[in-house]
Amino acid sequence: MNIQKKDLDKSQVELTVELTIDEFKPYIEKGIKKVSEEVKIEGFRPGKVPYNILKQKVDEMAILEQAAKIAINKTIDQAIKENIFSQIIGHPQINITKLAPENSLEYKAIITILPKSKLGDYKDIKVEQIEVKTKDEEIKTIITQLREMRVIEKISTETIQEGNKVVVDIKMFIDKVPVEGGQGKSVAVIIGKDYIVPGFDKKLIHASRNEIREFNLHYPKDFHQTHLAGKLVDFCVKIVEIYQRELPEVNEEFAKTFGLKSADELKSNIKKSVLAEKQQEEEKRIEAAIFEKIISQAKFDDIPEILINHETKVMMAELEYSVTSQGGKFDDYLSHLQKTQDQLILEMLPDAVKRIKISLIIREIAYIEKIIVTDEEIKEETDKLLKQSNNKTDIKEKITSIAYQDYLANNLTGKKVVEKLKEWNVKKN
């Protein structure tokens, strides 16, 4: 078997593989047997038809093509093993370039490999860690949100006052022409909170049930809906219902509704939660800053399209899961953005390339620094996941599969590398 190797662009390698007539002959015999099993010829058992008879019933090239397919399947792995010393991505692209009776077989295989990276300095980057703190206003805002969750609403016969919830029917016009999407039935408005446009709720103060209020308001020039930005809009608003709202006091009884003993314990828990979230955000900022600096100094081979396409699909799947896990519909999300999936993918490309570069950096540092994950660490993580899943059969099969175990090993290695990068580079105040 003669093999010629040629380096291509985009981290691809072309192998030209040639099998001599003698090397190809055993595969022709297997091709004959395979085709004869599928063709019924009077007087012969399936798989036992002589070649000269078979050629009279089946085009000889069809037999050779079947033989070539068998030969390629049997020889491609050996050709790759002897000539490609990098991790390959996806499946080789095969093209038969020579196939004829009484001739050798030749085929070309284009193989995509993991691009190489050459790192600069990754141990003396000096990223400053910012001390995270909570503010009283942040705690108050969350407590207000919790109180809103426990609000008691009662129908009021009084005129509209600050703090009321009002249900209204709305009609919007620009130059006496109805605004597209500007008509609404039974819309809830909290008086004292900007709704639709700043100043809208104030126009309803002291109105009564069934009263109709007509007024106009200027939309801000930077309003997110461009067809309304900077425009004078006329409103016709009918008051359908008025509700008095009673927010609970922040006391022991209120704290107990969240499984806590006192208002102080509630505030303390909120503070810890906010602090933990800020610390997590700071850790992400530090990681991003470290990788930004490493990427700026590193050199990468051309990143193959197959890798970029795979990463954008992963990112799209992550985004869709994020939307649907919160009860939303992904199609509605796209409609809100006024974008198609293809447009979103185009926007994701720079981040997809960056994520790939980060993966290559982690892989290279792990290799250079000999950072590995032990079998015991993988088992510990596997046991933790199995416990969380209550050892459900289908989930257990997935977690213990070879592919998922490889994923766990890579994921744990990545975490170790990131921790080392922080150890080497983070400067604490």
- CATH number, domain of 66, equals 3.30.70.1050
Is the pLDDT at 43 greater than 80? The verdict is no
Confidence of residue 56 (pLDDT cuts 50, 70, 90): low
Residue 169 lies in a domain: yes
Residue 139 lies in a domain: no
Q: Which residues pair with 128 in a beta bridge?
A: 427
Are 216 and 282 part of one and the same domain?
A: no
For residue 138, give the amino acid letter.
E
Confidence of residue 181 (pLDDT cuts 50, 70, 90): confident
Q: What is the 8-class DSSP label of residue 204?
A: G
Type and span of the H or E element at 355: helix 341-368
* Domain's final residue, options 114, 144, 176: 114
Confidence of residue 299 (pLDDT cuts 50, 70, 90): very high
What is the pLDDT, as a whole number, of residue 95? 95
- For residues 417 and 34, the model is more confident at 417
**Quick one: 9 exposed, middle or buried, by C-beta within 10 A (0-12, 13-18, 19+)?**
exposed
List the domain range (segments joined by +) for residue 180: 152-246
State how far the alpha carbon of 145 is from the alpha carbons of 155, 250, 261, 355, in Å: 22, 12, 19, 36
* Domain's final residue, options 195, 213, 246: 246
pTM exceeds 0.75 = no
Residues 6+ apart with CB under 8 A from 287: 418, 421, 422
Is the pLDDT at 429 greater than 80? The verdict is no
For residue 187, the domain's CATH number is: 3.10.50.40
Are 188 and 69 part of one and the same domain?
A: no
Residue 257 lies in a domain: no
Q: Check residue 391 and give left, alpha or beta (phi > 0: left; psi -120 to 50: alpha).
A: left
**Cα radius of gyration rounded to whole Å, the chain:** 34
14-35 confidence digits (pLDDT tens): 999 999 999 999 999 898 888 8
Are 35 and 103 part of one and the same domain?
A: yes
* Domain's final residue, options 114, 137, 161: 114
Residue 105 lies in a domain: yes
Are 291 and 417 part of one and the same domain?
A: yes
Confidence of residue 49 (pLDDT cuts 50, 70, 90): low
What is the pLDDT, as a whole number, of residue 173? 96
Residue 258 lies in a domain: no
Answer whether 33's CB lies under 8 Å from 47's CB: yes
Are 303 and 403 part of one and the same domain?
A: yes
Are 280 and 162 part of one and the same domain?
A: no
What is the pLDDT, as a whole number, of residue 15? 96
Residue 123 lies in a domain: no
Is the pLDDT at 196 greater than 90? The verdict is no
Mapped onto helix, strand or coil, the DSSP state of residue 379 is: helix
Are 303 and 190 part of one and the same domain?
A: no
Is the pLDDT at 139 greater than 90? The verdict is yes
Are 81 and 20 part of one and the same domain?
A: yes
- The domain tally of the chain equals 3
For residue 407, the domain's CATH number is: 1.10.3120.10
Are 416 and 339 part of one and the same domain?
A: yes
Are 307 and 200 part of one and the same domain?
A: no
State how far the alpha carbon of 160 is from the alpha carbons of 69, 238, 285, in Å: 80, 13, 46
Are 293 and 336 part of one and the same domain?
A: yes
Percentage of the chain modeled with pLDDT above 90: 71
What is the pLDDT, as a whole number, of residue 27? 94
Residue 68 lies in a domain: yes
The four Cα atoms 202, 206, 209, 210 give a dihedral, to 10 degrees, of: -70
Residue 336 lies in a domain: yes
Cα separation, 306 vs 251, whole angstroms? 58
Are 285 and 383 part of one and the same domain?
A: yes
